[in-house]
């Protein structure tokens, strides 16, 4: 998936702002490319798990519709673990198999790691991110 550099930077910035809690948000765009980042609140305000706050989900879904965009990605941060989906993340993705899942790890605060995964039927596969505008 193609993601503009400024969106990748924004995911890292959001992750740092919310640390030690996990942050989350949605990416709108078209097939194969993200164009807009929508920040959301983590309903759980937790360092261990996330859920896109239902009010934000409703608001962002409307904004996606108005912009003529599709939901192409869901991002969240891991502040204490590597950039790989936890079992909780895999379970959460069952309800929503289509978007890519981006995870930003801040385990090494100086070197954030951002990776993307497709998660469907409990199977995780990494997707290569192409940055650039
Ligand atoms: Zn996670």
pLDDT in tens, 86-117: 999 999 999 888 999 999 999 998 999 999 99
Tell me, in angstroms, the distance from the centre of ligand 1 to residue 48's CA.
Answer: 7
- Give the number of other Cβ atoms within 10 Å of residue 64's Cβ: 19
Flag whether the pTM goes above 0.85: yes
pLDDT tens for 2-17 read: 999 999 999 999 999 9
DSSP result, 73-126: EEEEEESSS-SS--HHHHHHHTT--SSEEEEEE-SSTTS-EEEEEEEETTEEEE
Distance (Å) from CA 31 to ligand 1 centroid: 24
């Amino acid at each position: 998936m193609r993601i503009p550099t400024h969106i990748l930077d924004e995911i890292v910035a959001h992750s740092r702002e919310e640390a030690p809690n996990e942050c989350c948000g949605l990416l709108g765009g078209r097939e194969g490319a993200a164009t807009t980042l929508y920040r959301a609140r983590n309903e759980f305000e937790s360092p261990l798990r996330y859920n896109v706050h239902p009010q934000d989900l409703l608001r962002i879904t409307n904004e996606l519709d108005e912009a003529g965009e599709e939901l192409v990605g869901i991002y969240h941060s891991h502040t204490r673990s590597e950039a790989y989906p936890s079992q909780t993340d895999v379970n959460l993705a069952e309800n929503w198999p289509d978007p890519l899942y981006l995870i930003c790890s801040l385990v090494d605060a100086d070197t954030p790691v951002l990776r993307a995964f497709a998660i469907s039927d409990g199977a995780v596969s990494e997707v290569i991110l192409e940055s650039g505008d």
